[in-house]
A and B are shown apart, each in its own frame.
Chain A
Amino acid sequence: MQSLPGIATPLEDVAAWQRQRGELPARDRLTPDLLALAQNGATILIGAQLGGRPTVGFGVCCRALPDGQLRILLSRSGNANVLAAIAEGSRVAATFTGAPSHRAFQVKAERAVIGAATQDDRPEAERQAQLFCDGLTEIGFTRDLAAGWLALDLGDLAAIELLPERVFTQTPGPGAGAELPR
């Protein structure tokens, strides 16, 4: 196996988690590394279950709240399926992937709460969208392709809030998917 400088591995994720986890108060669910990854232009995927089948959506911005919850902003019209699933009480998964490192982690929650996007969500959504485009540009996409994929529409945002109960490294490579235990 060969990896380029700057490309993460799952084993590095596990080591970083163990290093940082011991120093954190129990309330904090995620390490500084993972919080930084989630809030700086990561690709945010959301999974839920609707009518007995899996369903998928995506977010445009993530904000870590003081109580340990993650607030994920997503297009309301583009994620009607995910919002319907959450409204019905579905469990939720969210995966955050950074570019160009391909470092990724997934959180799982018993449920999430749906809310409206607020005025102060918007500048943060714009900042993270900018970083998202920068990251994709670094791995060879044009800016148009990156922005087109994200399709950020500030007038059409909803928010979901969830408490990460379990955390998994999702970085590609041997050991991918391993749980990062509390």
Chain B
Amino acid sequence: MTALTLDGLRGSMEGVYASMLATCDAEGTPNVSMISQVHYVDPEHVALSYQFFNKTRANVMQTRMAAVQITDPATFSHHRLDLDYVETQTSGPIFETMKAKLAGIASHHGMDGVFRLLGADIFRVLRIDAVPGPTLPPAEPRRLLASTRQACAELAAAQDLETLLDGSLRWLEEHYGIRTSMILMLDGEEERLFTVASRGYARSGIGSEVAFGEGVIGVAARERTAIRIGHMTREYRYGTAITETARRAGLVSGDAQTIRFPGLSTPRSQMALPISGAEGLLGVLFVEDEEPMRFDHEDEDALAIFADHLAARIALFRREEAEEAESAEPESAPEPGGQTLRFHPHDQSVFLDNDYIIKGVAGAILWRLVRENRATGRTEFTTRELRLDPGLRLPAHAENLDARLILLRKRLEERRTCLSIEKAGRGRFRLNLACGLTLIEVDPDQGATA
């Protein structure tokens, strides 16, 4: 047994260098080739990318043995691994992680479409040997553990969900130097996420949507696994897909109802981590950078811990909010007039004059609040009454009401409308109207009706 561990060699499995792979057929004739990816699976297993049915593949199926040599780009140390084949996976987290990474590597080498992952071949590592030769001393270790401890302490101190979400992105910058990031929350039971906080971009993109499977974010959400790439590829770009809602509704004025995804124009490194806990997937934490290979295994470990703590805090705020059940006192109603608020029931989109505000459940909430205010003069509302309102059609599970209210508040603020909502205590919030409103519900068949 050797003192070398696979965990200590993760730096050699970042995909900076191609690795070397040897197999033999049953007669003992060797075959040797370069391989794009030796992927770290766990302390005892690696996965190799199966891209073509070739001699290597035939040999592996025949003898179930392989040898690889991997190289650390920081120290130039080479290691040889003796491997025994276990199985091939053609879907799931390991496969998707490798597929994303391979697409990036292929694109980096001008090989888009040539490298296609057919499977992730899982191997047990029997033996690790260091290859003698000149090496550099390892770099000073980064202080990621200390950074993570500090960042998690900040998470623990946040007093409400909005502070937690916006703060998280600030803490990523303060403690890890990550300047461009966002948090997307699950859109109820839909296979879709919406941006609820972002940092470092020219425009916030609050409310923009990413479908499951789209880009590293959508794949991370669908597979419930961290996806990290060090070279950008067209396959994982955002913003080209039309949102599912728009498709379903057959919208003609699609652009007005689609908030553009805020991402970097030339990202090279991206990482998406699921925010999930006992309740299942809550959302995705996303970071990116223009520098290639910006995030490594260690960053992934650190941010995975951060995302887990974030998930626990979100779940806690949810439970607290749900326990509050106070109603608010009626107040005087403002006069009609001023600006026009239009509601389109087919996609629950809301426009203030001609300015698109929001759609979906957040749009339905806004419409309910202003109508209630018009009818009764109330300005204070509780999250509980929204949860119990059948008209809002909140999904029974994962309704994400708190995140939707943050989304709505941010959109109203960004569009500089005369409406705003603010927190008025635990489980309560206030609708502020600084202008008169004419309310119009658009009948899709007959035009507008007041």
Contact = CB atoms under 8 A, between A and B. Distances in A.
B69 interface: yes
Interface of B: 16-17, 20-24, 28-34, 52, 54-55, 59, 63, 65-69, 71, 73, 76, 78, 80, 82, 108-115, 129, 131-134, 136
A153 B30 contact: no
Interface string A78-106: 10110000000011111101000010101
Contact of A78 (B33, B63, B132): B132
Interface size class of A (residues with CB under 8 A): 35 or more
Given A54-B23, A151-B133, A172 B111 contact: yes
Contacts of A77: 132-133
Nearest to B29: A91
A47 B69 contact: no
A57 B133 contact: no
Contacts of B55: 168, 177
The 9 closest A-B pairs by CB, nearest first: A47-B32, A47-B30, A148-B76, A47-B22, A56-B22, A4-B110, A177-B54, A77-B132, A93-B30
B130 to A, nearest CB: 10
Contacts of B112: 2
A40 interface: no
A97 B33 CA distance: 9
B32 A94 contact: yes
Interface in A136-169: 139-140, 145, 148-149, 151, 153, 168
Contacts of B59: 54
Given A77-B132, A151-B134, A56 B110 contact: no
Given A46-B32, A54-B63, 17 more contacts: A3-B114, A54-B23, A54-B30, A54-B65, A55-B22, A56-B21, A56-B67, A58-B20, A75-B133, A90-B30, A91-B29, A93-B31, A95-B34, A97-B34, A151-B78, A151-B134, A172-B52
Contacts of A108: 29-30
A1 interface: yes
Contacts of B80: 55-56, 81
B133 A49 contact: no
Contacts, number: 119
A48 B69 CA distance: 13
A4 B23 CA distance: 30
Interface string A11-51: 00000000000000000000000000000000101111100
Contacts of A114: none
Nearest to A46: B32
A152 to B, nearest CB: 9
Contact of B110 (A3, A81, A153): A3
Given A55-B22, A140-B108, A78 B114 contact: no
9 contacts: A47-B23, A53-B82, A54-B65, A78-B133, A92-B30, A93-B29, A95-B32, A140-B108, A173-B114
A153 B134 contact: yes
Contacts of A7: 110-111
Interface of A: 1-4, 7, 43, 45-49, 53-58, 75, 77-78, 80-81, 90-95, 97, 102, 104, 106, 108, 139-140, 145, 148-149, 151, 153, 168, 170, 172-173, 176-177
Contacts of B23: 47, 54
B131 A91 contact: no
B67 A53 contact: yes
A176 B52 contact: yes
B24 A49 contact: yes
A138 to B, nearest CB: 11
Contacts of B22: 45, 47-48, 54-56, 93
Nearest to A95: B32
A56 B69 contact: yes
Nearest to B52: A176
Contacts of B31: 47, 93, 106
Contacts of A2: 112-113
B201 to A, nearest CB: 27
Contacts of A1: 113-114
Nearest to B76: A148
Nearest to B82: A53
A149 B76 contact: yes
Contacts of A46: 32
Contacts of B24: 47, 49, 53-54
B50 to A, nearest CB: 13
B32 A151 contact: no
A92 B28 CA distance: 9
Nearest to B16: A145
Given A77-B132, A176-B52, A95 B33 contact: yes
B32 A106 contact: yes
B133 A48 contact: no
Given A53-B65, A81-B80, A177 B52 contact: yes
Nearest to B108: A140
A4 B107 CA distance: 11
Given A139-B109, A148-B136, A172-B115, A49 B52 contact: no
A154 to B, nearest CB: 12
A129 to B, nearest CB: 13
A43 B34 contact: yes
A81 B115 CA distance: 31
Nearest to A99: B109
A56 B132 contact: no
A45 B31 CA distance: 10
